[in-house]
C-alpha cells in the first residue's frame, strides 16, 4: 500500500467524520427550530444569530456537567454502552459513496471510503451491532426502568431489521449487486432511480428506518410516563450526550442510505447534458446528495411533530403482521415482474 | 499467516473466558467477541459474504436474544442452581468424548501439503449462490426444510392455548 493512498483515505475519513459530527450537531438545532416553526414559535434564538451557536453551548454544557456512575451499576459495561453506540454510529458511513471520482492532476480520488463488495450487508451488520450499546447501557445501569427501556429498544430494532432486510432483498433483485457503489452508479440521471421500480420497498424501508433510529412514532424506548428516561435514565453529562449524538448520526447515515439506495445518491437530473467537466459534475453531485440527505432529515423531524406515537403492542403488530408480509409480497411481485420482463420484452 | 495466529489466539482466549466467567451476562458478551473473531477468520479466508452473514445473524440477532433472556432472568452467582453430581459426571464424559474426536480428526489431518485456494473470488455472493443452487441443491433445500420445521415448532410453542368455553 503506497503512502499517498493512505494519506488520501485518511483525509477522506477525517472529512466524513467531521461532516457527520457537524450534521448531527446542527440536527439538534434544526430539530428545535423546526419544532418551533411547526408550533408557531421561535425556537432557540439567543446564542448567536438565529441561535446558530446553540449546539456549541449544549456541547459545552454536556462536557462540564458532573459525571455520575451509580454505585450499583456495573462500571465497565456502563462506560462501554455509550462507547459502542457512538462507534457503531460513526463507522456505518464508511461504505456510502459520497460522490463520483475527483481528478486532481494525475490522481483519481474516489469519494467513497471503502468499496466493500457486500456494502449493504456491512451496514446491516453495524446497525445490528448498535443494539448492544443500548442493551449494555440499560443493563449496566442496574435500574428497572433502564432495563425495560433497553429491552424495548432491542426487541424493536430486531423486529424491524427483518422487514428492512426483506425490503432490501427486493431491491437487490433489481440492482443485482450488493456494492453500494454499483447500486448508485446504476441510477444515473432521473428515470433510473430505484424509487420508480421499488416504491413499496421504499415505504417499508423508511418505516423501518424510523424504527431503527428510535424516532417518533416509534420512540417507545424512552417514555417519560412509563419508563422515566428509558435506557439512559441513569446517564448524565457526556455519556448521555454520546447516546443522543449517536441517535442523530444514525439519522444522518440512514438518510444517506435511503438517498443512495432509492433516490440516486449523487445523481441528479440532466447531469450528463450540462456539458461540464467531470470534476464539476462530481462537486454538484455531492451537493445534490447532501440536499437529498437534508430533505430526509427534515422529513424525520416533520413526522416527529405530525404523528402521535404508537403503543408498544401496536408497534410489534405493525412490524410482524403488516410490514413483513408486505415485504415478502414485494419480493414475490418483483420476482414475477423481472421474469415477465425477461420473457416478453 | 501471523495475523491468523493472533486472531486464533484471541478466539481461544475469549472462548475460554466464556466458559470460566461466573456472570452469565459477561459470558454471553465474551461469546459475542468470540463470534467477532470468527468473522475476522472468515475475512482472512476470503469469504466476505459468510463473514458478514455470521456477523449479522450470530452477533446481531441470536446473541442479542440470548442477552435478552439472561437480562430478564437476572441471574447471578447467588441464585445459580446447584447441578447434581450425575450431570457433572455426564458433562465430563461428554467433554472427554469431544476431545478424543478432535484429537483423532487432527491426527488424520494432512498438514504437509499446503492448501491452495483455486479461486480467490469463491466467497462472493454470486459464486456462493451458484454453488448452492447447482451443486448442493438437495442439502440446501433439506436444511431449509429443517429450519421451516423448527420455525413452525417455535410458533406452536409460543402460541397460547385457546380458551375452551
Least Cα separation, residue A116 to chain B (angstroms): 9
**A154/B60 touch (CB, cutoff 8 Å), yes or no:** no
Least Cα separation, residue A122 to chain B (angstroms): 6
Report the domain count for chain B.
1
- Determine the pLDDT at residue A107: 77
Q: Which of A75, A125, A180 is the best substitution to test chain B (most B C-beta atoms within 10 A)? A: A125
State which residue of chain A sits closest to B67, comparing Cα positions. A135
Least Cα separation, residue A295 to chain B (angstroms): 29
Least Cα separation, residue B115 to chain A (angstroms): 25
**A178/B125 touch (CB, cutoff 8 Å), yes or no:** yes
- For residue A50 the three cell numbers come to 438565529
H or E element in which residue A44 lies: none
Q: Give mean pLDDT, residues B62-85.
A: 73
Helices H / strands E in chain A, number of each: 12, 2
Close Cβ partners of A189 (under 8 Å, ≥ 6 residues apart): A264, A267, A269, A270, A271, A272
In a domain, residue B164? The reply is: no
For the question of an ipTM over 0.85, the answer is no
In a domain, residue B9? The reply is: yes
Close Cβ partners of A145 (under 8 Å, ≥ 6 residues apart): A227, A228, A229, A230, A233
d(CA B131, CA B137): 8
How much of chain A exceeds pLDDT 70, in percent? 99
Report the domain count for chain A.
1
Close Cβ partners of A261 (under 8 Å, ≥ 6 residues apart): A120, A168, A171, A180, A183, A194, A205
Least Cα separation, residue B90 to chain A (angstroms): 34
DSSP secondary structure code for residue A104 in this structure:
E
Q: Which of B33, B35, B71, B122 is the best substitution to test chain A (most A C-beta atoms within 10 A)? A: B71
**A125/B67 touch (CB, cutoff 8 Å), yes or no:** no
**A118/B49 touch (CB, cutoff 8 Å), yes or no:** yes
Predicted confidence pLDDT, tens digits, chain A (345 residues)? 678 888 888 888 888 888 888 888 888 888 888 888 888 888 888 877 887 888 888 888 888 888 888 887 788 888 888 888 888 888 888 888 887 777 777 777 777 777 777 888 888 888 888 888 888 888 888 888 888 888 888 888 888 888 888 888 888 888 888 888 888 888 877 777 888 888 888 899 999 888 888 777 877 767 666 777 777 788 888 888 888 888 888 889 889 888 888 888 788 877 777 777 778 888 888 888 888 899 999 998 888 888 888 888 888 888 888 889 999 999 999 889 888 888 887
How many beta carbons lie within 10 A of that of residue A328, not counting itself? 15
d(CA A217, CA A315): 9
d(CA A220, CA A309): 8
Asked if pLDDT for residue B164 goes beyond 70, the answer is no
**Unique residue bearing C-alpha cell 465474551:** B30
In a domain, residue B108? The reply is: yes
pLDDT tens profile B81-100: 667 788 889 999 999 999 99
What are A's interface residues with B at a Cβ cutoff of 8 A?
A: 77, 116-118, 121-122, 124-125, 127-129, 131-132, 135-136, 139, 147, 150-151, 154-155, 158, 161, 178
pLDDT tier for residue B116 given thresholds of 50, 70 and 90? low
- Determine the pLDDT at residue B141: 92
**A158/B72 touch (CB, cutoff 8 Å), yes or no:** no
In a domain, residue B67? The reply is: yes
In a domain, residue B20? The reply is: yes
Average pLDDT, chain B: 83
- Determine the pLDDT at residue B68: 81
**A128/B53 touch (CB, cutoff 8 Å), yes or no:** no
- Determine the pLDDT at residue A118: 80
**B48/A118 touch (CB, cutoff 8 Å), yes or no:** yes
Q: Which of residues 10-39 of B touch A (CB under 8 A)?
A: 25, 29, 32
- Determine the pLDDT at residue B111: 67
Least Cα separation, residue B52 to chain A (angstroms): 6
- Determine the pLDDT at residue B99: 92
Q: Residue B41 sits in a domain of what CATH number?
A: 1.20.120.1200
For A125, the closest of B25, B55, B64 (CB atoms) is: B55
- Determine the pLDDT at residue B97: 94
- Determine the pLDDT at residue B163: 67
Quote the domain boundaries for residue A280: 3-344
Name every chain B residue with its beta carbon within 8 A of the beta carbon of A131.
60, 64
Distance (Å) of CA A15 to CA A38, A90, A109, B120: 33, 12, 14, 33
How far is residue A207 CA from its own chain's centroid?
12
- Determine the pLDDT at residue B165: 62
Which is more confidently placed, B118 or A187? A187
Amino acid at each position: 500500500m503506497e503512502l499517498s493512498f493512505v494519506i488520501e483515505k485518511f483525509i477522506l475519513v477525517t472529512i466524513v467524520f467531521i461532516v457527520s459530527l457537524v450534521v448531527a450537531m446542527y440536527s439538534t438545532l434544526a430539530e428545535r427550530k423546526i419544532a418551533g416553526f411547526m408550533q408557531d414559535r421561535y425556537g432557540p434564538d439567543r446564542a448567536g444569530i438565529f441561535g446558530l451557536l446553540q449546539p456549541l453551548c449544549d456541547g459545552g454544557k454536556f462536557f462540564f456537567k458532573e459525571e455520575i456512575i451509580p454505585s450499583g451499576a456495573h462500571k465497565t459495561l456502563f462506560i462501554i454502552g455509550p462507547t459502542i453506540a457512538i462507534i457503531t454510529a460513526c463507522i456505518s458511513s464508511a461504505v456510502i459513496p459520497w460522490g463520483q471520482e475527483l481528478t486532481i492532476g494525475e490522481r483519481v480520488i474516489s469519494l467513497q471510503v471503502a468499496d466493500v463488495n457486500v456494502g449493504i450487508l456491512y451496514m446491516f451488520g453495524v446497525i445490528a451491532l448498535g443494539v448492544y450499546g443500548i442493551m449494555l447501557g440499560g443493563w449496566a445501569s442496574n435500574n428497572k426502568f433502564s432495563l425495560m427501556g433497553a429491552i424495548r429498544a432491542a426487541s424493536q430494532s430486531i423486529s424491524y431489521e427483518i422487514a428492512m432486510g426483506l425490503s432490501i432483498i427486493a431491491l437487490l433483485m433489481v440492482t443485482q449487486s450488493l456494492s453500494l457503489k454499483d447500486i448508485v452508479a446504476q441510477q444515473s440521471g432521473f428515470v433510473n432511480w430505484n424509487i420508480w421500480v421499488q416504491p413499496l420497498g421504499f415505504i417499508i424501508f423508511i418505516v423501518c428506518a424510523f424504527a431503527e433510529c428510535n424516532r417518533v412514532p416509534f420512540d417507545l424506548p424512552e417514555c417519560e410516563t412509563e419508563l422515566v428516561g428509558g435506557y439512559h435514565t441513569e446517564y448524565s453529562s457526556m455519556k448521555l450526550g454520546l447516546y443522543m449524538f449517536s441517535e442523530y448520526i444514525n439519522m444522518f447515515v440512514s438518510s444517506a442510505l435511503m438517498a443512495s439506495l432509492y433516490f440516486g445518491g449523487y445523481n441528479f437530473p440532466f447531469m450528463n447534458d450540462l456539458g461540464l467537466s467531470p470534476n464539476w459534475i462530481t462537486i454538484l453531485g455531492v451537493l445534490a446528495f447532501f440536499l437529498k440527505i437534508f430533505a430526509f432529515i427534515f422529513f424525520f423531524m416533520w413526522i416527529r411533530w405530525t404523528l402521535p406515537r404508537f403503543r408498544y403492542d401496536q408497534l410489534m403488530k405493525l412490524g410482524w403482521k403488516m410490514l413483513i408480509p408486505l415485504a415478502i409480497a414485494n419480493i414475490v411481485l418483483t420476482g414475477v415482474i423481472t421474469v415477465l420482463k425477461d420473457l416478453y420484452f | 499467516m501471523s495475523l491468523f495466529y493472533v486472531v486464533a489466539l484471541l478466539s481461544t482466549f475469549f472462548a475460554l473466558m466464556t466458559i470460566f466467567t461466573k456472570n452469565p451476562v459477561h459470558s454471553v458478551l465474551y461469546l459475542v467477541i468470540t463470534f467477532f473473531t470468527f468473522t475476522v477468520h472468515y475475512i482472512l479466508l476470503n469469504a466476505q459474504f459468510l463473514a458478514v452473514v455470521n456477523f449479522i445473524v450470530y452477533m446481531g440477532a441470536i446473541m442479542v436474544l440470548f442477552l435478552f433472556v439472561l437480562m430478564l432472568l437476572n441471574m447471578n452467582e447467588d441464585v445459580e442452581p446447584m447441578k447434581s453430581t450425575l450431570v457433572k459426571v455426564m458433562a465430563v464424559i461428554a467433554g472427554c468424548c469431544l476431545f478424543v474426536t478432535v484429537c483423532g480428526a487432527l491426527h488424520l489431518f494432512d498438514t504437509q501439503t499446503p492448501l491452495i485456494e483455486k479461486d480467490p473470488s469463491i466467497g462472493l455472493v454470486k459464486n456462493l449462490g451458484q454453488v448452492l443452487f447447482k451443486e448442493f441443491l438437495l442439502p440446501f433445500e433439506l436444511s431449509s426444510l429443517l429450519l421451516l420445521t423448527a420455525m413452525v415448532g417455535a410458533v406452536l410453542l409460543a402460541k397460547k392455548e385457546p380458551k375452551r368455553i
